[in-house]
Amino acid sequence: GKVFDKAKQAAEQYGGPIGGRVGAKLEAWKEPEAGLFLHGTLHVRVHRARNLLNVDTGIMGDVTDAYVRLSVDGRKGPRTETVNNSLDPEWEEDLKFSVGSKVSVVTLTVKDQDIGTLSKDLGRADIDIALVLENQINNAWLKINDQGSTLQVTAKFTDAKDEVQAPELPSAFHEWAGNRVTLFQDAHVPHDTKLPDVMIATGPYNKFHSLWETLYQAIQEAQHFIYITGWSVDTEITLLRDRPLGSEGFVKVGELLKQKADEGVAVLISVWDELMSIDNEALNKLVGVTKTG
């Protein structure tokens, strides 16, 4: 169809040595006019800045509290820690940005962190992605404004095909072997739907599960604790859509969780709180849950 044709066209245009992978894009997503199709990870090491503007009071050593935000073609990415009261801050901090689309410009914005107000822009550097791919951004000093402020960074790109397939990720939990992973075709697969077999190493696979029913059964069978994480929890929805299971019928999520709590099962819910939603640590604590972006 139309999406496939666009993916094929992109593959023919950008299927060279850079990137190497092309996926169909959603119709509503608008990619940059120019740029290179990349699939992999952008690595930026922020070293230091010099001669930053002072936007604080200047009294008793109160000067700029600076941090650096990474973005790619306007898409906001990670940031460094804040270095307080310094016009020549040192970071030596690594930032990563996963990409799977056309990329034109990498932007590093230096900001002043304030409590109770929005962060102030101190300047920014726009880097052509071609310079990153040519390894020309190596301990480079970049001009960020017309007042003599500079930022030293190193940037490189690692193609997905060259990345380690099973990297060690920082985690608060210990690694465990022998875990079970269940793949779902969709959140809800009606029982009268016939789906094509999927070929795996052991042969055709056609045991398609319904995510909602699996979640329902897991909650019903829980004996010790239920731990739910995600963007939000809608207590008014029902997990069972086209057929009831057991005697409970089409029970709502909230009622189901209350029933398990009454049975002595610990019910724990962790709602997503995105610290990158706005550039103010104090305000994030107040509105981070509802202003995720």
**Structure confidence at residue 226 (pLDDT):** 93
What is the residue whose two structure tokens read 């600076």? 66
Query: Do the beta carbons of residue 43 and residue 94 sit within 8 Å?
Result: yes
Q: Tens of pLDDT along 264-284?
A: 999 998 877 555 445 555 555
Cα torsion 254, 259, 262, 267: sign: negative
**Structure confidence at residue 2 (pLDDT):** 41
DSSP at 162: G
DSSP at 276: T
The domain covering 36-159 belongs, at the CATH homologous superfamily level, to: C2 domain (2.60.40.150)
Q: Tens of pLDDT along 118-130?
A: 788 999 999 999 9
Question: Long-range contact list for 51-54, CB < 8 A, 24+ apart?
Answer: 51/87, 51/88, 51/147, 51/148, 51/149, 51/150, 52/86, 52/87, 52/88, 52/89, 52/110, 52/122, 52/123, 52/149, 53/87, 53/122, 53/123, 53/145, 53/147, 53/149, 54/87
Of 69-83, 153-167, 199-213, which range is least confident?
Answer: 199-213
- pLDDT above 70 covers what percent of the chain? 72
Task: Look at the pTM and tell me if it is higher than 0.75.
Answer: no
Domain ranges of the chain: 36-159, 176-292
**Structure confidence at residue 157 (pLDDT):** 96
Q: Tens of pLDDT along 16-30?
A: 322 222 333 333 435
